[in-house]
Structure 1
Amino acid sequence: MDRRKFFKKGTLLAAGGALLGNPISGLATTMEYDLSAKGKRAKNIIFMVSDGMSTGTLALSDHFQNHILGHRSVWMSAYIDNKVTRGLMETSSASSIVTDSSAGSSSFGGGVRVPNGSLNVGANGEKYLPIWQKMKRKGKKIGVVTTVTATHATPAGFNVNNNSRYAEPQIAIDYLNLGLDVVMGGGDEFFNGDKREDKKDLYKAFAEKGYAIAKNSSELKKTGKNQPILGIFNEGALPYQLDRENTPELKANIPSLAEMAKKAIEHLNTGKEGFALQIESGKVDWAAHANDLGGLLFEQIQFDEALKVALEFAEKDGETLVIFTTDHGNANPGLIYGKNADKDFETVAKYKYTNEWILNQIDNSFSPNAVRDLVQANLGFEITSSEAHKILGYYSNIQKEEQGLYNYKHLPYEGFANMQKKHSSVGWISMDHSSDHVEVAAFGPGKELLKPFVKNTDLHYLMLQAAQIENKF
């Protein structure tokens, strides 16, 4: 190929997008979707999303596991062992170069970019059939597993059409009507008749359709393989993995992502036509919004443990395509150069709880010394008296402000993260989504379809082609 023509073509594509009023239309080509050249069919598909995972998050997780726990991350081991096809993915939505989770998931789910905030509904009301519905119509069992609310943007994007990602009470009803075979995560408020505005008892409605209802780890373990499962384990999102590990009651009652993934696969694998399962570590994104280092690292490690479950199953099964990626970057954390960077980062091993947990313990009754003691006991480093006074100022409304998207109690996430940076050598560029080109990898039949650089929408058609399903619905 003539090098000058190659670059000229790329420039014209980008310029063409701008001229048409769509800043992202020309940034990547569309995947070729061709069933004529059939390879081995993927009977099952497991699509895994570490929501909001910047490449810096992936690196920090691998550094922590490699240098402190003594082994590489599962994600990086798959690269090192050359077991996967790997690419970079552009994550834009129809309305912005920077996507939100609903538009990001809809790109995978509907195969078309939609505006931020929407679930498989275009700017003019066009509805795009979500991929798990396509799989269901072909006889496959379908399911979603997440660490946030089961009706949140990422799981919903594979299943429903709605103008708003925030219509979670309706999305819960949609799951019932669509007949998802496995639904696991948080969000009791969207299924519990005592908490829903319309007073509909969706637990009862699911049970009447034959679902096993699980509200804790013990009940989940008792579910059989021959019943669909609704597992809702908390109001709101599930607790952070770091907090769960160090709180006996939470560890006993709330399953980990890996435990939910294993149970979901066991149930779904009973279908004659195979299955399609989405697994999401949703609180990677929440921790990034909060610049919560302990939360971020251990949520990414929790994703890694679930990835291990999926890859081990797929390797043994031989008929399962596993795709693992993220929907977008968030906050772009990184270990910053300095003579003490290694030593500082090792202090994360002393963390017992997340910043969220620690800041939730503080109230106006605390003295500065009590704040200092709380931080020392649970994060292993000392803050100054001045810093303790500054933290307490947020609780007396002196400097109360919004810090982080999922910060419902207006806790001083950003201020505390800036103090923490001196001790961890980890910095952040923001508290919000970013436009990173992100990692995507594939294992199993169909992995050869993944190209070095793809659009997020390409993964929709990759899954259909790997499963050898014609896109006629």
Structure 2
Amino acid sequence: MKRRDFFKNTTLATAGATLLPTFGFTHSIDKKAGKTAKNIIFLVSDGMSTGTLNMANLLLHRKEGRKSHWVSLYEENKAIRALMDTASANSLVTDSGAASSAWGGGVRVNNGSINVNPDGSSNKPILQKFKAVGKAVGCVTTVPITHATPAGFCIASKSRDDQEGIARQYLSLRFDVMMGGGTEFFTAEKRKDKADLFQEYARQGYGVFRSRKEMMNASTSAGAPILGVFHENGLPYSLDRVQDKQLKEQVPTLAEMTSHAIKHLKNNKKGFVLQVEAGKVDWAAHANDIGGLLYDQIAFDDAIGVALDFADKDKETLVIITTDHGNANPGLYSNEKAEENFDKIQKFRYTNDWILTGISRDSSLKQVVERVEEAQSFAITTDEAQVLLKHIKALDETGVYNPKKLPFSQLAEIQYNYTSVGWGSIHHSADYVELAMYGPGSELLKPFVKNIELHDIMLKACGIIA
């Protein structure tokens, strides 16, 4: 690929007004198109800063002697690679709802909304467009299936937080596969309206799965749409799941969900479009939780492997791999023990989330030290344990996905002394992000794109004219 001069001065206003709102959608197949993709698998590691991709690859290489599937695509020159501008309509720093809406609706919207413009008009999401031309469609994720990233491909909502409403919107759309967490948005016990959506989905002909076993034993033949919801809120972190027999039986991995979804969707003669999201990568970045971050990134890479294996055999599938925005900018930093410290992560058994949720204000300093050592194979000092316990008693830390106000940032600062991994913040960033494409249609990708451009690229790759 030739290098291009792609960095140009832009304004936030220009970024927000790149495309006008789409008020309707008509479609046709471009019969003059070249080789087109029958299927698209769109993989998103939510909140993945470049350092996350780098360190996951380093961890895999040093622990298992192999490279990640994503980095291997670059090393073997198999993918078209680009940088992507992730801004929303009202900020250089996007949230996940606006970011997924840029892909899903083709228009930049304000943070907090999903495919709804500031004037109240909405943009038709891309899975509805693909469904209209006869393709099977679906989403799988490690966070609630009603969360911002899958929703951005599926529906329009004034608020990304209306997950109960999003769960109900999905019902009538009859998408072919929807799997992830978020049981509280489907059960009568937790919904504000006391509606049993699981029962409503089943009455309307959906196959409903509540466990990994049910999913693995289910038929993947063409037919009824499927809804799989395996855990309240997000699914457990990969690192914690593997240590818990009950969780391993209850909750599938992202790779397993991806494999099952592909087997179900591929039976459609007109092809399929599937979004796959590693949503807990973002949650771990917000928490500065290095174990949660890297092992969920590796679990995402396993899902990439599933997608690439299918694409290599199928020859008609475009695989898109990216993130919606950076988050927290983690990195391995130089000191005399950097390699030795980084290698400690190989021995991690549990995440920082597991550590902190198991410490109470009544815990002793010894118990705090032992909790950390059990989880991550190094012993913090008594002084460091005292600092942690002080914040556990105060519950004074804020942050996204931290309702208990646990001291995640404080623990990450202590961990730096043992892992040499540091963090820039606990928030999203405006970084340009990695984007890779593999398969038919990848030639449409330029070296630098805005997030909204992926919408038309996906349609064009399948020979669809909007």
Place the TM-score, normalised by the shorter chain, in its bin: over 0.9
- CA drift of 1:24 comes to 3.2
- CA drift of 1:404 comes to 2.7
Q: Which amino acid aligns with 1:170?
A: G
- CA drift of 1:27 comes to 9.6
Does residue 253 in structure 1 map to residue 242 in structure 2? Answer: no
Does residue 104 in structure 1 map to residue 99 in structure 2? Answer: yes
Equivalent pair of 1:53/1:326 in contact (CA under 8 Å):
yes
1:63-84 deviations in Å (ceiling 9; x for gaps): 1011222100110011111111
Unaligned runs of 5+ in 1: 1-5, 29-33
CA distance in 2, matches of 1:95, 1:37: 38
Does residue 174 in structure 1 map to residue 169 in structure 2? Answer: yes
TM-score, normalization by structure 1: 0.93
The match for 1:222 is 217
The counterpart of 1:445, out of the listed 440, 451, 462, is: 440
The match for 2:380 is 383
The match for 2:15 is 24
- CA drift of 1:402 comes to 2.9
1:415 and 1:456, CA in 2 relative to 1: closer, same or farther beyond 3 A?
A: same
- CA drift of 1:125 comes to 0.9
Give secondary structure in 2 for the equivalent of 1:93. coil
Equivalent pair of 2:16/2:90 in contact (CA under 8 Å):
no
Does residue 237 in structure 1 map to residue 228 in structure 2? Answer: no
CA distance in 2, matches of 1:159, 1:147: 17
1:326-367 deviations in Å (ceiling 9; x for gaps): 000000000001121111100001110000011111112211
Equivalent pair of 2:116/2:157 in contact (CA under 8 Å):
yes
The match for 2:391 is 394
Give secondary structure in 2 for the equivalent of 1:185. strand
CA distance in 1, matches of 2:454, 2:311: 18
Give secondary structure in 1 for the equivalent of 2:165. helix
How do residues 416-455 of structure 1 correspond to structure 2 at under 5 angstroms? Answer: 416-455=411-450
1:194 and 1:27, CA in 2 relative to 1: closer, same or farther beyond 3 A?
A: closer
The match for 1:303 is 300
Equivalent pair of 2:17/2:89 in contact (CA under 8 Å):
no
CA distance in 1, matches of 2:327, 2:374: 29
1:126-154 deviations in Å (ceiling 9; x for gaps): 21100000000001111010000000000
CA distance in 1, matches of 2:164, 2:17: 37
CA distance in 1, matches of 2:413, 2:404: 19
CA distance in 1, matches of 2:127, 2:65: 38
The match for 1:369 is 366
Equivalent pair of 2:136/2:265 in contact (CA under 8 Å):
yes
The match for 1:193 is 188
Give secondary structure in 1 for the equivalent of 2:368. helix
Equivalent pair of 1:192/1:203 in contact (CA under 8 Å):
yes
CA distance in 2, matches of 1:199, 1:87: 46
The match for 1:120 is 115
Q: Which amino acid aligns with 1:120?
A: N
Give secondary structure in 2 for the equivalent of 1:411. coil
Q: Which 4+ runs in 1 deviate beyond 3 A?
A: 23-28, 34-37
How do residues 203-218 of structure 1 correspond to structure 2 at under 5 angstroms? Answer: 203-218=198-213
- CA drift of 1:445 comes to 0.7
Give secondary structure in 2 for the equivalent of 1:24. helix
Does residue 287 in structure 1 map to residue 284 in structure 2? Answer: yes
The counterpart of 1:466, out of the listed 457, 461, 466, is: 461
TM-score, normalization by structure 2: 0.94
- CA drift of 1:396 comes to 2.1
Equivalent pair of 1:403/1:413 in contact (CA under 8 Å):
no
Does residue 330 in structure 1 map to residue 324 in structure 2? Answer: no
1:247-286 deviations in Å (ceiling 9; x for gaps): 1111121100000000000001111111111000000000
Give secondary structure in 1 for the equivalent of 2:334. coil
- CA drift of 1:104 comes to 0.3
Equivalent pair of 1:23/1:97 in contact (CA under 8 Å):
no
How do residues 326-365 of structure 1 correspond to structure 2 at under 5 angstroms? Answer: 326-365=323-362
Give secondary structure in 1 for the equivalent of 2:464. coil
Give secondary structure in 2 for the equivalent of 1:99. coil
The match for 1:3 is none
The counterpart of 1:54, out of the listed 49, 52, 62, is: 49
With 203-212 and 447-456 compared, the bigger mean Cα shift is at 203-212
CA distance in 1, matches of 2:405, 2:411: 13
- CA drift of 1:293 comes to 0.3
The match for 2:23 is none
1:45-79 deviations in Å (ceiling 9; x for gaps): 11110000000100010110112221001100111
Give secondary structure in 1 for the equivalent of 2:41. strand
- CA drift of 1:378 comes to 1.4
RMSD: 1.7
CA distance in 1, matches of 2:131, 2:16: 31
CA distance in 1, matches of 2:416, 2:92: 29
- CA drift of 1:10 comes to 4.0
- CA drift of 1:25 comes to 5.1
- CA drift of 1:376 comes to 1.2
Give secondary structure in 1 for the equivalent of 2:412. helix
1:330 and 1:27, CA in 2 relative to 1: closer, same or farther beyond 3 A?
A: farther
Give secondary structure in 1 for the equivalent of 2:440. coil
The counterpart of 2:179, out of the listed 184, 191, 194, is: 184
1:93 and 1:199, CA in 2 relative to 1: closer, same or farther beyond 3 A?
A: same
1:94 and 1:198, CA in 2 relative to 1: closer, same or farther beyond 3 A?
A: same
Equivalent pair of 2:17/2:108 in contact (CA under 8 Å):
no
1:191-246 deviations in Å (ceiling 9; x for gaps): 11121111111111111121111111110012112332110000111000000011
With 365-374 and 325-334 compared, the bigger mean Cα shift is at 365-374
Equivalent pair of 1:223/1:229 in contact (CA under 8 Å):
no
Q: Which amino acid aligns with 1:259?
A: E
The counterpart of 1:314, out of the listed 299, 311, 316, is: 311
